[in-house]
């Protein structure tokens, strides 16, 4: 990532700056399995495909249906004809054609309120006109438009984030429900309600103008950060890290910084993501085994990313009461620059968590502070704070609470209680690497897996 | 353009105990609001103040009862029906709607077609 130029343009997606060979499929088969290619394209290209299709469809639900259809068609077509050179462009073209077909066939949208789309600046194109409207133009990157629409202040914060994860990241309702610690049915209803409001109340599909931008930013930063944390510790599946989500968050953070270079919290968020992501390659062993911060090979941390992130921190902290992203970045910088786990400045980290808790009353922050306190003042002090947090209903179902508790119990030599707590954590995670880690810890503490 | 209803919810005690000066200020604020809607590029379709909830009669099924449908601290006291381009435009207009003793709620008008 360092040195990679991703400004306000289209970071790594199917549109600007890439050759558009959308509808064309090369005859030769790739080494890769088509199903894997479709899954890969789903993770990488969903936001771009949906954002571009929404512009044509004029309706989010229709766009989602068409994009889903395009992914189904991709599995069939790519199996027979091979995987296209640019899967994202293939999917976008297919989804947009479907949307246009549906609109042409007739009255599907009669009585519905169209998505309000402000025209984008015209993009000069030398391509020959295609057979379908929209085919003869460069497909614009509408992902920011999609993000700001999802994060509109007329939507509840929870709905903003849920909708963004669903529409921008293409996460399933199950994954979003886990990220938010709510039942799946609740999350499904939340997403449906939010989509209905966008259309019924006529929330425009646009990026806010300069005057509105500051007010609209915090929700977007929250969304980008959540997107990152979802990728950083994937709620389900075989990998600890979903690199695509992490990279998408990083791209969005860079994009936001180029839009609002003077905004301290944007800088703080970008710094936080860089400093955290510098450790990405060391969070799992060669066998996919989850490695804790204490076990990670610090020599493998990405020093260029750490330097870039740490350089952003002073500017993010300076000039009044620092925001929550700047404070988290400062904590991440202390971790990233520490020579070892033991030689980390845990006392200063605990103090920064105190400040953070004063600007952001989150039980997850309080849990992290408890872990820092355990390192600064011993596991007993940390355990007392965690036991207090167990009474907070907002953390019910949060898998890192019993996992952190189990670790402190283990360090205190209370093996049986530790095994019980590891079992609680095991019941709460569907991530394979995390499950393996917890199962090993249960065995080590003498319990039965 | 689409139609939005701006529903004005206020604490009725505010008006019950208000001085003539306050009433005068409120009236002037509403007059200014009407001009403001035009200046903002919207259109004022209709608007009215309502008598207080002490004058309300509720009907549920065929049972008629004295009083508002729900007793709340802030009651519906008036409304404007406006035309606006989209929700952002409607909210921009509604932010200048006078509601000295409460606030306003913006609701899109349902379109049947």
| The last residue of a domain, from among A258, A290, A314 | A314
Question: What does the buried/exposed string (b/e) look like for A408-433 if buried means 16 or more CB atoms within 10 Å of the residue's CB?
Answer: bbbebebeebbbbbbbebbebbebbb
Q: Which residue in chain B has the smallest CA separation from A115? A: B86
Going by C-beta distance under 8 Å and a sequence separation of 6 or more, which residues neighbour residue A211? none
Pair (A208, A267) in one structural domain: yes
CB contact under 8 Å between B87 and A113, yes or no, is no
Could you tell me how many residues make up chain A? 449
ipTM for the predicted complex: 0.84
Q: Which of A219, A223, A214, A316 is nearest to A271 (CA)?
A: A316
**Cα–Cα distances in Å, from A45 out to A66, B95, B111?**
14, 39, 35
Within-domain flag for A220: yes
DSSP code of residue B44: E
pLDDT in tens, B68-84: 988 889 999 999 999 99
Q: Which residue in chain B has the smallest CA separation from A109? A: B113
Paired sense of beta strands A236-237 and A430-431, if any: parallel
- When CB atoms are compared, the residue of A113, A152, A154 closest to B111 is A113
Tokens of A30: 């790739």
Q: How many Cβ atoms are within 10 Å of A100's Cβ, its own excluded? A: 18
Pair (A102, A196) in one structural domain: no
Q: Which residue in chain B has the smallest CA separation from A152? A: B88
CB contact under 8 Å between A202 and B113, yes or no, is no
CA distance B113 to B96: 31
Torsion of CA A282, A283, A285, A291, to 10 degrees: 120
Pair (A239, A147) in one structural domain: yes
Domains of chain B: 2-108 (3.30.70.1060)
pTM above 0.90, yes or no: no
Rounded CA Rg of chain A: 23
Helix or strand run (H / E) with residue B27: helix B20-39
Q: Tell me how close the Cα of A46 comes to any Cα of chain B, in angstroms.
A: 27
User: Which residues of chain A lie closer than 8 angstroms to B113, CB-CB?
Assistant: 110-111
Three-class SS state of B102:
strand
- When CB atoms are compared, the residue of A200, A204, A208 closest to B108 is A200
In the predicted model, what is the mean pLDDT of chain B?
A: 94
CB contact under 8 Å between A200 and B110, yes or no, is yes
User: Which residues of chain B lie closer than 8 angstroms to A201, CB-CB?
Assistant: 87, 106, 108
CA distance B65 to A293: 67
Query: Residue A91: what pLDDT?
Result: 96
CA distance A430 to A25: 36
CB contact under 8 Å between A203 and B87, yes or no, is yes
Query: Residue A259: what pLDDT?
Result: 66
CB contact under 8 Å between A203 and B86, yes or no, is yes
Pair (A146, A246) in one structural domain: yes
Q: Is A207 left (phi over 0), alpha (psi -120 to 50) or beta?
A: beta
Q: Which residue in chain A has the smallest CA separation from B3? A: A201
Residue B79, strand partner residues: B7, B48
What is chain A's pLDDT, residue by residue, as a tens digit (449 residues)? Answer: 333 333 333 333 333 333 333 333 444 444 579 999 999 898 778 888 999 999 899 889 899 999 999 999 999 999 999 999 999 999 999 999 999 999 888 755 544 566 777 665 444 344 433 444 444 456 777 887 888 899 898 998 788 878 888 898 788 888 778 766 679 999 999 999 999 999 889 999 888 887 777 678 888 998 888 878 877 766 565 565 566 668 768 877 887 787 678 889 999 999 999 999 999 888 888 887 788 889 999 999 999 999 999 999 999 999 888 989 999 999 999 999 999 999 999 999 999 999 999 988 899 999 999 999 999 999 999 999 999 999 999 999 899 999 999 999 999 999 999 999 999 999 998 888 889 999 999 999 876 54
Place of tokens 């060391």: A282
Looking at per-residue confidence, does B38 or A17 come out higher?
Answer: B38
CB contact under 8 Å between B113 and A110, yes or no, is yes
Pair (A275, A207) in one structural domain: yes
DSSP code of residue B6: E
Among chain B, residues having any CB pair with chain A shorter than 8 Å are 2, 85-88, 91, 106, 108, 110-113
Dihedral angle sign, alpha carbons of residues A393, A398, A401, A406: positive
Tokens of B80: 């404007």
Within-domain flag for A16: no
CA distance A117 to A204: 6
Q: Which of A167, A196, A163, A168 is nearest to A180 (CA)?
A: A163
CB contact under 8 Å between B87 and A152, yes or no, is yes
User: Which residues of chain A lie closer than 8 angstroms to B85, CB-CB?
Assistant: 116, 204
Within-domain flag for A379: no
CB contact under 8 Å between A203 and B112, yes or no, is no
Query: Residue A76: what pLDDT?
Result: 95
Q: What is the largest CA-CA distance in chain B?
A: 47
Residue A61 CA, chain-centre distance (Å), reads 22
Pair (A100, A193) in one structural domain: no
Within-domain flag for A371: no
CA distance A403 to A241: 18
Rounded CA Rg of chain B: 15
Within-domain flag for A60: yes
| The last residue of a domain, from among A314, A339, A367 | A314
Q: Which residue in chain A has the smallest CA separation from B1? A: A202
Q: Which residue in chain A has the smallest CA separation from B86? A: A202
> Which of A24-28, A329-333, B30-34, B57-61 shows the lowest mean pLDDT across its residues?
A24-28
- When CB atoms are compared, the residue of A110, A111, A116 closest to B86 is A116
- When CB atoms are compared, the residue of B87, B112, B113 closest to A202 is B87
CB contact under 8 Å between A202 and B2, yes or no, is yes
Pair (A209, A308) in one structural domain: yes
Q: Which residue in chain B has the smallest CA separation from A116? A: B86
Pair (A81, A187) in one structural domain: no
Domain span holding position A154: 141-158+178-279+302-314
Instruction: Name which of B42, B83, B87 to mutate to probe chain A: the one with the most chain A Cβ atoms within 10 A of its Cβ.
Output: B87
User: Which residues of chain B lie closer than 8 angstroms to A154, CB-CB?
Assistant: 87, 91
Going by C-beta distance under 8 Å and a sequence separation of 6 or more, which residues neighbour residue B100? B10, B14, B22, B25, B26, B29
CB contact under 8 Å between B87 and A110, yes or no, is no
CB contact under 8 Å between B108 and A202, yes or no, is yes
Domains held by chain A: number: 2
CA distance A190 to A160: 10
Tokens of A388: 């207090």
Pair (A146, A232) in one structural domain: yes
Q: What is the largest CA-CA distance in chain A?
A: 72
Within-domain flag for A389: no
**Cα–Cα distances in Å, from B78 out to A219, A422, B55, B66, B104?**
32, 58, 14, 20, 10
Pair (A154, A231) in one structural domain: yes
Within-domain flag for A218: yes
Query: Residue A120: what pLDDT?
Result: 54
Within-domain flag for A342: no
CATH number reported for the structural domain that contains residue A63 in this entry: 1.10.1740.10
Pair (A39, A152) in one structural domain: no
- DSSP per residue over B81-95, as a string? EEEESSHHHHHHHHT
Could you tell me how many residues make up chain B? 113
Q: Which of A1, A12, A45 is nearest to A277 (CA)?
A: A1
Pair (A65, A150) in one structural domain: no
Three-class SS state of B15:
helix
| The last residue of a domain, from among A314, A339, A368 | A314
Question: A-B interface: how many C-beta pairs under 8 angstroms?
Answer: 29
- When CB atoms are compared, the residue of A111, A201, A212 closest to B87 is A201
Q: Which residue in chain A has the smallest CA separation from B91? A: A154
User: Which residues of chain A lie closer than 8 angstroms to B2, CB-CB?
Assistant: 113, 202
């Amino acid at each position: 990532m360092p040195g990679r130029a991703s400004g306000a343009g289209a970071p790594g997606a199917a549109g600007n700056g890439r050759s558009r060979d959308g509808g064309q499929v090369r005859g030769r088969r790739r080494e890769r399995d088509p199903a894997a290619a479709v899954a890969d394209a789903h993770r990488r290209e969903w936001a771009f495909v949906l954002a571009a299709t929404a512009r044509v469809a004029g309706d989010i639900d229709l766009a989602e249906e068409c994009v889903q259809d395009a992914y189904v068609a991709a599995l069939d077509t790519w199996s027979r004809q091979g995987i296209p050179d640019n899967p994202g462009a293939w999917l976008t073209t297919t989804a947009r054609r479907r949307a246009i077909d549906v609109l042409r066939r007739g009255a599907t949208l009669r009585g519905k309120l169209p998505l309000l789309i402000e025209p984008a600046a015209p993009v000069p194109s030398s391509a020959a006109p295609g057979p379908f409207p929209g085919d003869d133009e460069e497909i614009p990157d509408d992902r920011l438009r999609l993000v700001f629409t999802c994060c509109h202040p007329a939507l509840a914060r929870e709905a903003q984030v849920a909708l963004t994860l669903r529409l921008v990241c293409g996460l399933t309702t199950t994954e979003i429900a886990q990220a938010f610690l709510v039942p799946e049915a609740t999350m499904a209803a939340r997403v449906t309600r939010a989509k209905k409001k966008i259309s019924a109340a006529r929330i425009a599909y646009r990026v806010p103008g300069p005057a509105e931008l500051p007010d609209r930013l915090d929700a977007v930063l929250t969304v980008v950060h959540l997107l990152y944390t979802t990728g950083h510790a994937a709620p389900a599946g075989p990998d600890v890290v979903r690199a695509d989500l992490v990279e998408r968050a990083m791209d969005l953070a860079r994009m936001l910084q180029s839009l609002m270079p003077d905004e301290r919290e944007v800088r703080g968020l970008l710094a936080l993501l860089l400093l955290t992501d510098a450790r990405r390659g060391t969070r799992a062993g060669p066998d996919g085994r989850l490695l804790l911060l204490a076990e990670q090979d610090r020599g493998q941390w990405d020093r260029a990313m750490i330097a870039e992130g740490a350089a952003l921190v002073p500017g993010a902290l300076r000039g009044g009461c620092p925001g929550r992203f700047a404070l988290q970045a400062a904590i991440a910088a202390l971790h990233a620059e520490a020579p070892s786990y033991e030689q980390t400045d845990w006392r200063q980290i605990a103090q920064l968590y105190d400040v953070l808790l004063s600007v952001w009353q989150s039980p997850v922050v309080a849990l992290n502070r408890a872990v820092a306190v355990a390192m600064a003042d011993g596991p007993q002090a940390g355990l007392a704070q965690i036991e207090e947090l167990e009474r907070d209903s907002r953390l019910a179902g949060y898998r890192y609470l019993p996992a952190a508790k189990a670790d402190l119990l283990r360090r205190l030599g209370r093996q049986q209680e530790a095994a019980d707590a590891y079992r609680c954590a095991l019941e709460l995670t569907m991530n394979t690497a995390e499950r393996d880690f917890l199962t090993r810890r249960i065995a080590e503490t003498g319990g039965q897996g | 353009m689409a139609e939005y209803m701006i529903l004005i919810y206020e604490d009725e005690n505010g008006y019950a105990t208000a001085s003539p000066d306050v009433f005068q200020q409120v009236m002037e604020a509403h007059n200014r609001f009407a001009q403001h809607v035009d200046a903002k590029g919207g259109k004022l379709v209709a608007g009215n103040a309502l008598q207080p909830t002490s004058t309300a009669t509720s009907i549920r099924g065929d049972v008629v009862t004295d009083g508002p449908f729900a007793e709340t601290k802030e009651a519906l006291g008036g409304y404007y029906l406006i035309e606006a381009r989209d929700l952002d435009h409607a909210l921009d207009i509604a932010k200048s709607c006078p509601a000295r003793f409460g606030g306003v709620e913006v609701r899109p008008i349902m379109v049947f077609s």
